[in-house]
Amino acid sequence: MVTLLFVHGTGVREPGYGDALRRVREAVAARRPDVRVEPCDWGSALGSYLRDGGVSIPGFAQQGGRGPEAPAPDEEQVARWALLYADPLAELRLSALTGTATAAGPAPFVPGGAAPGDELLEALAALPSSDAASAAWTEAGLGLPLARAAAELAAAVDLRRAVAADGGSPSVLPRLTARALVAHALHQGGDPGRVPAAARDALVDRLTGALGGDDRGVGEALAAGARFAARLFENVLGSRLAVAHRTALSGRSVGFVGDIVSYLVRGEAVRALVAERVRAQSGPVVVLAHSLGGIISFDLLAAGVLLDGADTGPGGRPRQVKALVTVGSQAPLLYELDALPSRPYGSGLPKDFPPWVNVYDRRDLLSYRASEVFVDGVTDVEVDNRQPVSAAHSAYWSNDTLWAVLDDVLDRVAPS
């Protein structure tokens, strides 16, 4: 009888491995009752863990690895700037869409007077000729010339729309415009963090005053529109939540990242455990390896770790392993980076390496193609798990295409 040895990936522990093993066994039993599925749970015994209880992670040990840290007082401001660094016009766009650019209703019409929006655009055009504004801009060290930044912002459709939606005074549009101007310059520079937050905020205050707004701080009118932008960002992109819930996120991710780092530094024990699981089987073995499990299994077969047994190939490797099926694995990437423990880049596969099928999904950002870098001895199979990026890596076991691929491999391995 053929044995399918299921080698799990990074960050997997019980009960997660047991659940995945059950799904694999059920799928195989429904298609191939002639195949036995055996576990290889290396993570529970040799996976990484926080040996000092997480004291290196801010707030983790104090919270016992549970619950979020207390949010910082200026957390909303940080989230707002994170949004602006990614999209400098976001606040202007949202102020126009939500109608929150003003705190009061439309200003009364004054014959011969300029509309507040027109005054803002004129003030923006005049900024480069203002000695005070130019000096503050240069002192902040944003890199992009003020004249260019002002001209590019003035040409932005989103600013024009925000101006059109702005009904009158008191208006927060000068401050939104000042922040958009500074964010645009920082965005163009490619490294927003190079300017200290205090210098950034002081420049915004100075520009707000030059644009005809209140430079003493953020008023309630600004909060009506700008808080919406910050909430949108934190809900969609998770900046605030990621920080506030760092302890919980760290608890879930430390095994994922830690297993990879630990294996690349001290992988001998893990490879030895998997090797013993292979030796414990009777008859031919097909290794089904997910994620980091694919790297481990590749290294075993490529480096000749399994050297004993009477039924060995020309290089001393066991013919007991008849095929390797990697799923969502990073072995091809590490090979191209010349970071595989067992095989330097350019050496290819050993001549007696078993048939290898590498399954990947384009939406799984942890899966890679092998045939282009190894050239011979491996077949890539692309599948579509029909899941978003966040779920694609763990969705292979629900994909019928994977089981069809595995069934084909088993057909070639099973005794006639």
Q: What is the pLDDT averaged over residues 367-372?
A: 95
* In 105-152, beta strands by DSSP E: none
Q: What is the mean pLDDT of residues 23-41?
A: 95
The long-range contacts involving 65-69, CB below 8 angstroms and separated by at least 24 positions, are 65/247, 65/250, 65/251, 66/247, 66/248, 66/251, 67/247, 67/248, 68/244, 68/245, 68/246, 68/247, 68/248, 69/243, 69/244, 69/246, 69/247
Residues of the chain with pLDDT > 70: what percent?
A: 74
* Cβ proximity of 38 and 277 under 8 Å: yes
pLDDT at position 388, please? Answer: 83
pLDDT digits (tens, 9 = 90+) for 272-313: 999 999 999 988 999 999 999 999 999 999 976 554 443 444
Cα 232 to Cα 229: distance, rounded to the nearest angstrom: 5
Q: Do 333 and 365 contact (CB within 8 A), yes or no?
A: no
List pLDDT tens digits, range 68-110.
444 444 566 777 787 788 889 988 887 777 554 443 444 444 4
Question: Is the Cβ–Cβ distance between 88 and 200 less than 8 Å?
Answer: no
Which pTM value belongs to this model?
Answer: 0.61
- pLDDT of amino acid 261: 80
If one compares 328 and 266, the residue with the highest pLDDT of the two is: 328
- In angstroms, the CA 191 to CA 374 distance is 37
Q: What is the 3-state secondary structure (H, E, C) of 287-310?
A: EEEECHHHHHHHHHHHHCCCCCCC
Hey, where are the domains in the chain? Answer: 2-52+251-413, 75-240
Tens-digit pLDDT profile for residues 188-211: 887 787 788 889 999 999 999 999
Mean pLDDT, the chain, as a whole number? Answer: 80
| Size (the chain), residues | 416
Give domain 2-52+251-413's CATH architecture: 3-Layer(aba) Sandwich (3.40)
Tokens of 247: 């302890």
Say yes or no to pLDDT of 139 above 60.
yes
